[in-house]
Structure 1
Amino acid sequence: MKKWQKRLLWFVGVLVTLILVGLFYIKTITYTPTTAALEASQEATDENGILFFKGDQEKPALIFYQGALVENTSYSIWAEKVADAGFSVYLVKQPLNLAVLGQNKAEKIIQSNHLTNYVIGGHSLGGVMASRFAVENKSHDGLKGVFFLASYPDEKGSLANFKGPVLSLTGSEDGVLNWQAYDQSKKYLPKQTVFHEIKGGNHAGFGSYGEQKGDKPAQINNDKQQEEIADQLIDWLKTIK
């Protein structure tokens, strides 16, 4: 074997090893759903990793992008409640649980299910990427609204000229959200944006996956925060014509 071939094999071997180590590390730091979230997810249909909670086809469907390194199943509790109120929910499964790797994942859901009436949003990083998708597809007749859970749009996802309804939910005890960036991002939101703060809620409480690094302790239990998230989403969805 020639010297360059040996070097190439060595390089490939090192690269593969680094990738495997990286994947293992990501797996170890990924937040997994609580037992309650797993139980709620049993009400959904698993469509290649996408959890579909069926509601009324005549009402707006909700497409959701998970927070960074949080399994989508972790959002099943409020998703089930929203679906019970008649609004279908799609909890998207992102590559490596990172929405930044799957900004356009919603497109396949929209096309395969022939959605003509939907809203899109996400938690934390998921909300950022959902807003970017919304901007690129704002001319789509089916897009009716955008929502953020402990999240906000950046310049690439600016909704300043968006005509549809927008909802922004935050928790008063959120220790992960960059509050300065959140305040600055309001220039990228339209004047009709509805803001609501969940008193006592924290960042991890927008899902159900236990404590999150850097977060503050919630002053309400997860059941309470899940209920309020669902109530706020349902009330907002009811305003969409």
Structure 2
Amino acid sequence: MKKLRKIIIGLVLAIILLVAAGAIYLKTNSYSASSQAVKISQTAKVKNSRVTEFKAKKNKLTVIFYPGALVQPEAYSIWASKLARAGYTVKIAHFLLNLAIFDLSAADKLHQQGQKFVIGGHSLGGAMASRYAHQNLKKLQGVFFLAAYPDQKGRLDQTSLAVLSITASRDGVLNQEKYQKGKQYLPANAEYETVKGGNHAGFGDYGQQKGDRPATISKQTQQELIAKYLIKWLNKLSR
């Protein structure tokens, strides 16, 4: 009996150590927001463990955003602050270990009941946002993807939701074959934009990402174009 108890204790300790080691690895391999993005994030009206929120003075429509895998949420502050100035409140969700897969329904904690909103995400965050949308169609007015695509669990092709997909011509991370395949899960009225010269990491501001290609435009230019395309699309929805 004592021997069995020692074995169980040993297994529990081993599991705890493995989980702790995994968490440390993910934390140390996360992508940190640039100093500029961090500085802008400090201007957010709300900033806590759940959200970084840029509030519009007269909000036309709320935008909830799921960051890319292992990317600090503050990295998206530059374009998010531009949307807020244009009249759209942006709520950047925070996730355990910076992975949206741990809390698919994070948007439920961030939006006001009975008020429709738009949801979107970058990379893995976009896939998780589409899965949330698939399960909560009546709550939404639109879905957007930044270097991302839906899978079958997040299919939106049988809906009338407004959808925007923004990619970058120098993206070395986005799986182009899966991206093209993912289009079958989008509605026929989906809109597409391309940031010419932009790359995967340029959808936020967190430095170079492994496997990405160098951009031929500045981060500032890419952030401005992302904001431009999103605002143009949001303006149609808020009329």
* Matched residue, 2:168: 171
* Matched residue, 2:113: 114
Task: Give the conservation status (yes or no) of the 8 Å contact 1:175–1:202.
Answer: yes
Q: Secondary structure at the match of 1:106?
A: helix
Structure 1 runs of 4+ with >4 Å offset = none
Give per-residue Cα distances to partners, 1:206-232, cap 9 Å, x unaligned. Answer: 000000000000111111101111111
Task: Give the conservation status (yes or no) of the 8 Å contact 2:165–2:190.
Answer: yes
Task: Give the conservation status (yes or no) of the 8 Å contact 2:118–2:143.
Answer: yes
Q: Secondary structure at the match of 1:147?
A: strand
Task: Give the conservation status (yes or no) of the 8 Å contact 1:62–1:120.
Answer: yes
1:29 aligns with 2:29: yes
Q: CA deviation at 1:181?
A: 0.7
1:184 aligns with 2:181: yes
The range that moved more, 207-216 or 46-55, is 46-55
Q: How does 1:1-241 map to 2 (within 5 A)?
A: 2-44=2-44, 45-56=46-57, 58-110=59-111, 113-114=112-113, 116-140=115-139, 143-241=140-238
Give per-residue Cα distances to partners, 1:139-190, cap 9 Å, x unaligned. Answer: 23xx100000000111111110221211000000000000011111111111
Report the Cα distance in structure 1 between the residues aligned to 2:57 and 2:187, rounded to whole angstroms. Answer: 28
Report the Cα distance in structure 2 between the residues aligned to 1:184 and 1:114, rounded to whole angstroms. Answer: 34
State the AA in 2 paired with 1:99: A
State the AA in 2 paired with 1:222: K
Percent of matched pairs sharing the same residue: 47
State the AA in 2 paired with 1:10: G
Q: Secondary structure at the match of 1:127?
A: helix
Task: Give the conservation status (yes or no) of the 8 Å contact 1:163–1:190.
Answer: yes
Task: Give the conservation status (yes or no) of the 8 Å contact 1:33–1:73.
Answer: yes
Task: Give the conservation status (yes or no) of the 8 Å contact 1:63–1:90.
Answer: yes
Give per-residue Cα distances to partners, 1:64-120, cap 9 Å, x unaligned. Answer: 00001111111001001110111000000012111111111001112xx33613100
Report the Cα distance in structure 2 between the residues aligned to 1:11 and 1:157, rounded to whole angstroms. Answer: 37
Report the Cα distance in structure 1 between the residues aligned to 2:181 and 2:141, rounded to whole angstroms. Answer: 25
State the AA in 2 paired with 1:114: Q
RMSD across aligned C-alpha pairs, in angstroms?
1.3
Name the TM-score, length of structure 1 as normaliser. Answer: 0.95
State the AA in 1 paired with 2:42: Q
Report the Cα distance in structure 1 between the residues aligned to 2:49 and 2:14, rounded to whole angstroms. Answer: 32
Report the Cα distance in structure 1 between the residues aligned to 2:137 and 2:57, rounded to whole angstroms. Answer: 24
State the AA in 2 paired with 1:26: L
State the AA in 1 paired with 2:39: E
Q: CA deviation at 1:239?
A: 0.3
State the AA in 2 paired with 1:116: Q
Task: Give the conservation status (yes or no) of the 8 Å contact 2:59–2:89.
Answer: no
Task: Give the conservation status (yes or no) of the 8 Å contact 1:59–1:117.
Answer: no
Q: Secondary structure at the match of 1:238?
A: helix
State the AA in 1 paired with 2:70: L
Q: Unpaired segments of 5 or more residues in structure 2?
A: none
What is the total number of aligned residue pairs between the two structures?
237
Name the TM-score, length of structure 2 as normaliser. Answer: 0.96
